[in-house]
Amino acid sequence: MKISIWILSGFLVAGITAILNNAGIQPLSWIIWLGFALLYAYKNKDFSGIGLMQKNLKSAIMAGIAAGVLYGLMRGLILVYVPNLNIVFESGLTTIMDGYAAEKFPLVNISVSKFQFMSAFIIMSFIAVACWEIFYRGFLFMRISKYLYWPIAALIVAFVNGLGHFDVGVTGFYHSLVLFTVAGALMYRYKNIAAPFLFHYIHFFITFYTVLFLK
């Protein structure tokens, strides 16, 4: 399959999963994202092309952790001390924190302890973010960046990401533009999915606990 057909198919997948996300059927999106990216890698024998490789692994891990911690602290401090920017940086955090405080898991409204809440959220987030980054940064961004200047490619993919984040309101879209542009920059720099994955995954928990302890 030609690369242009793969890219068009990727945008189709992104559109379908955006609809699923906004309809509250996120787990199906995770399966589709991962399956599509791995299908591309298998058909083209190009697993390194979606960032699944050992090259730059140590540097990618360190950069992803550092970026996740720094961005998470910045986001948390902004949410606490610069409330005018909440429309950009809130992106569903309040819903998670309210569920944590009430000991009710969001969406399903199941009663849990705070420890159970965070344990489940850590596991679910790990799976979701892994699938998300392998598709959006590993497959879509890396394909588009072969034809466009990488910041433009990162913004395009961040915009597409944002369309699937309206389930938490317009703030989900705005924050996607910021968060996933940074993730795109990490993917471009290290060509290893570990960097954007760790950045995306770690930053939320740093933000969560920063806001929790400061409020």
pLDDT, position 24: 84
pTM to 2 decimals?
Answer: 0.95
Listed by start position, the domains of the chain span 3-46+56-214
Close Cβ partners of 67 (under 8 Å, ≥ 6 residues apart)? 182, 186, 195, 198, 199, 203
Work out the number of other CB atoms within 10 angstroms of the CB of residue 169.
15
Question: Could you give the percent of the chain with pLDDT greater than 70?
Answer: 98
User: Is 90 exceeded by the pLDDT of residue 3?
Assistant: no
**How confident is the model over 173-198, as a mean pLDDT?**
97
pLDDT tens, 5-33?
999 999 999 999 999 999 889 999 999 99
pLDDT tens, 61-92?
999 999 999 999 999 999 999 999 999 999 99
